[in-house]
Amino acid sequence: MLAVLSPGQGSQKPGFLTPWLDLPGAEARLRWFSALAGVDLVRLGTEGDADEIRDTARTQPLLVAAALLAAEHLPMYDVTVTAGHSVGELAAAALAGVLTQESAVTLAGVRGREMAAACALEPTSMSAVLGGDQADVLAAIEAHGLHPANFNGAGQIVVAGAVDQLAKFAAEPPAGSRVITLQVAGAFHTPYMAPAEQALATVAAGITPTDPARILLSNADGAAVNHGREMVQRLVHQVTAPVRWDLCVRTLADLGVTAVIELPPAGTLAGLVKRELKGSGAVPEIVTLNTPDDLAAARDLIARHGAPSGHEPTMQFRVVVAGTAGTFNPADELAEGDTVRSGQVIGHIATRQGAVDVTAHAAGVLTEWLANHDDPVAPGQPLARIGGQLS
């Protein structure tokens, strides 16, 4: 099983889009994305210096556009899982089919501008905490009136809040930890971003999402999200909520992901996955896709680890996944080859709190059961594959 990951803010590097513009149609695509985002992505990705592309209003649409541009050159129909870190979730949602590319880039532009505006309201920032006992670190964060913004795994938590409180926190670090000040302009993923969340919600309300065509993991809790509208709500709320990348990585391991491609600018998420899963025996094979020269390796990885499509280009397949842990029981009256309607109950998950319905989120043909009677399942685990004609 293969996952494609989209990086978030902080992964950008000056000139990282330059080699991509040599591909046919790439510059035109970026100019279209620029019109949607309201910033010149071609210039920023090729000529912008480190300070310029650190600007939140510019960085966020730049990262989403870069991920989508690179993914256009991959056989995404054989990719089973997508996930993104922070603003990278917008790209992941587009790659999963929840958003159009245009919607993702437009939302990234709004999100970046509004978060930059929220940053300007009062002096806030972020620091990385490396090491230490997690309970002790969280207690110290709370004691200083700060917020945990990112749980990145591998012993790394990013703390955010008022600049003066961060300085006091760094002067009295939790036992066994090291605090590194980050060069960012605000307290992302905390209540300080409430104005940005409200503004993004207003725009997102006008989008008509679709349900994901592949497994899409959420930063909120690492769970797979089955419904497009729910994912949009999560994307909006994530502006003020912590990024639980540690839980996303755990879900990748629970799903049995054997290979990962990180989209450009790649490296950060690949490193976190390696460090979090080191020693578990579940470290996937990884390709960091930074230039077109890496496309051959990425395509080879998909060919070896992706889900073979085995279908004509006129077909699409949607994977129904478990929304909770428990024991799965398919509906007795359903068999592979049967037609199902959107919203039809195709099985149940037995939990301590009772049975939870499993529904088909698209009409089509039940092509394959991916779990059997009385199988124990985890959140995000594939249960069935449904195929249907593309409209």
Residue-wise pLDDT for 152-182, tens only, equals 998 899 999 999 999 999 999 999 999 999 9
Left (φ > 0), alpha (ψ -120 to 50) or beta: where does 302 sit?
alpha
CA distance 113 to 118: 9
Q: Are 67 and 6 a contacting pair, CB within 8 Å?
A: yes
Q: Rounded distance, CA 144 to CA 258, Å?
A: 40
Q: What is the pLDDT of residue 206?
A: 94
Q: What is the fold, at CATH topology level, of the domain defined by 2-117+191-305?
A: Malonyl-Coenzyme A Acyl Carrier Protein; domain 2 (3.40.366)
Span 137-154, average pLDDT = 94
| Catalytic sites, residue numbers | 86, 189
Residue 362 pLDDT greater than 90, yes or no = no
Q: Report the pLDDT value the prediction gives residue 35, as an integer from 0 to 100.
A: 96
Which residue ranges make up each domain of the chain?
Answer: 2-117+191-305, 119-181, 315-389
Q: In residues, how long is the chain?
A: 391
Compute the distance between CA of residue 336 and CA of residue 274 in angstroms, rounded to an integer.
Answer: 37
Pairing verdict, β 2-6 and 259-262: parallel
pLDDT reading at 144 higher than 90: yes
Give Cα 161 distance to the centre of its chain.
24
Taking CA atoms, 216 is separated from 3, 24, 150, 262, in Å, by 10, 29, 19, 15
Residue 17 has pLDDT above 80, yes or no: yes
- 10 Å Cβ neighbour count for 348? 17
Q: Give how far the C-alpha of residue 287 lies from the chain's centroid of Cα atoms, to the nearest Å.
A: 17
Band the pLDDT of 382: cuts 50, 70, 90: confident
pLDDT of 238 above 60: yes
End-to-end CA distance of the chain: 27
Residue range 77-104: mean pLDDT, rounded: 96
Lowest mean pLDDT among 121-135, 192-206, 351-365: 351-365
The arithmetic mean of pLDDT across residues 245-265, rounded, is 93
Given a cut of 70, whether residue 313 has pLDDT beyond it is no
Portion of the chain with pLDDT greater than 90, in percent:
76
> Mean pLDDT in the chain?
91
pLDDT of amino acid 324: 79
Return the pLDDT at 388. 62
Choose which CATH entry (2.40.50.100, 1.10.1200.10, 3.20.20.70, 3.20.20.370) describes domain 315-389: 2.40.50.100
Question: What amino acid occupies position 85?
Answer: H
- Tell me, yes or no, if the two domains 2-117+191-305 and 315-389 fold the same way: no
Q: What is the pTM of this model?
A: 0.80
Strand runs labelled E in 188-330: 215-216, 259-262, 285-288, 315-321, 326-330
Residue 261: phi, psi to the nearest 5?
Answer: -115, 125
- Measured CA to CA, the distance from residue 290 to residue 20 in angstroms comes to 9
pLDDT tens-digit profile of 41-73? Answer: 999 999 999 999 999 999 999 999 999 999 999
H-run or E-run covering 130: strand 124-131
pLDDT given at position 184: 84
Burial class (CB in 10 A: 0-12, 13-18, 19+), 51: exposed
Q: Which amino acid, one-letter code, is at 130?
A: L
Question: pLDDT-derived band of residue 317, with 50, 70 and 90 as boundaries?
Answer: low
Structure tokens at 234: 């999560």
What's the pLDDT tens digit per position in 78-88? 999 999 999 99
Q: Does domain 119-181 have CATH number 3.30.70.250?
A: yes
Write out pLDDT tens, residues 263-299: 999 999 999 999 989 877 778 999 999 999 999 999 9
Does 310 have pLDDT greater than 80? no
